[in-house]
Structure 1
Amino acid sequence: MSERKSDSRPALDSKWLGREGSIYAVKGKGGLIRDVLIPNALATQLEQRRLAQPITVRDREINYLQRYEIGGGYKWSCSFSKASNGGHGLRHSYAQERMDELKGFGA
């Protein structure tokens, strides 16, 4: 199986500075494919849930290929929003934390 590639986007050399893990290409609901760094321990757990063959899942009137036996889509979004500030809030918090880290490296 060939893994998908992220969309070509400019990125700083310091993008993953100070962090270790495995890079995964993920496709967002808007269709953008971006690289994310998943800590090695979490990536190991994720790979234990990899499906032998991708399955087609329909969510929000769109068909997706699901490659792992994990929740996602609308159901995940709703439950995560009830428990926290939602997916967008999580991204914002991560970005703030990452900026603070990079300031410590002088990047």
Structure 2
Amino acid sequence: MSGSLTAIALDAVLEEHGLTLQQLAALCAVDHDWVSRHIEEGLLTPSQHGGEWRFSSATLLRVRRIANIERQFEALPELAALVADMQEEIDDLRRRLRRAGLE
């Protein structure tokens, strides 16, 4: 299976089942409390599955970005989340440009 096919299969599994809090924290090298605080502050939005939080592939990327910004720049969580929001918007705009054949 090629790398992009593996990524597509992983995205499909993540979107159907999602990551648990423990899996997300381990994959992003943050602790459970870090994730919980960011959820309480409204910076992350998990879905509910069987009474437990679940996280999508988009949230995985967002957590990695926010944690990286916080570490690299000693940024406040709110500022790191704002930068992550802007990065997500830029990524979306680039995808739109590619689809339109303008990039």
Give the alignment's TM-score, normalised by structure 2. 0.28
More helix by share: 2
More strand by share: 1
